[in-house]
Amino acid sequence: MFNINFKKNKLIPIVVILLIACLVLVILLFSKCGNEQPAQNLNPDDAAVTWNGEQEVSRPTVDNKPAIAVPGIKEMIFIANQKEQKVNLYNPRENNCYFQMNLYAEDELVWKSGNVSPGDGFYDIELTKTLPQGERQGYLIIKCYKQDGTELNSARVKFKLSVVPQ
């Protein structure tokens, strides 16, 4: 009987220390989570209307003449010796014409698109040939057409084409 009590007495400080350690752990955990703002009841904006798809937005004009938005490119980076490449080529959604895009490395056509509608574009393209490592002049020639096929002014976007090893 005495023996059991003695053992219990020795265990008490250990259990207390363990409990304190656990308490500190729990406090630390709560202090980390406590930075979050308490939940509040949010009110919806009464001015918002039911969304029925995009409406017609104003088209780009310059001096009241219709214009075409042409995204500029400073540099395009391709991976050497592979045809699949990552790009950001698009027809801005505010335009009112198709884009036909032709991508040149120096004077060589390496990719072309079909008719790209406003708001559409490409993230992945496949070149007609692989390119060796190095820097060269790149061009994106953008031919613009109305939906009825009428040709509009076109753009040639010049940029640095860097072909790097994988």
Partner 1 sequence: MKKIISLIMVVCLMATIGMATASADSVNGGTTTITYKEPDTYCVLIPETIDMTFENYRFQATDMNLAEGDEVFVTMGGLDENNYFPLTHENGVDTARKKVYYDYGSIPTDRLDMLPAYCVGYFSDEDTISRMGFMMINDGDMHFKAGNYTGTAEFTVELRESV
Write out the residues near partner 1 by the rule CB under 8 A. Answer: 11, 14, 17-18, 21-22, 24-25, 28-29, 31-32, 60, 62-63, 65-75, 92, 97, 141, 144, 151-159
- CA dist 163 and 166 (Å) reads 9
The kind and range of the H/E element at 125 are strand 121-126
**Residue closer to partner 1 (CB basis): 32 or 47:** 32
Smallest gap, in angstroms, from Cβ of residue 96 to partner 1? 8
Nearer to partner 1, 144 or 163 (CB): 144
Question: In which residue are the tokens 């790209």 written?
Answer: 116
Give the CA diameter of the chain.
105
CA-to-CA dists, residue 28 to 17, 20, 32, 38, angstroms: 17, 12, 6, 18
Q: Tokens representing 22?
A: 């656990």
Q: Which is nearer to partner 1, 23 or 126 (CB)?
A: 23
Q: How far is the CB of 48 from partner 1 (least distance, A)?
A: 26
Task: Give the integer Cα–Cα distance in Å for 14 and 35.
Answer: 33
CB of residue 157 to partner 1, shortest distance in Å = 5
Q: Which is nearer to partner 1, 45 or 107 (CB)?
A: 107
State the nearest-atom distance from the C-beta of 5 to partner 1, in Å.
16
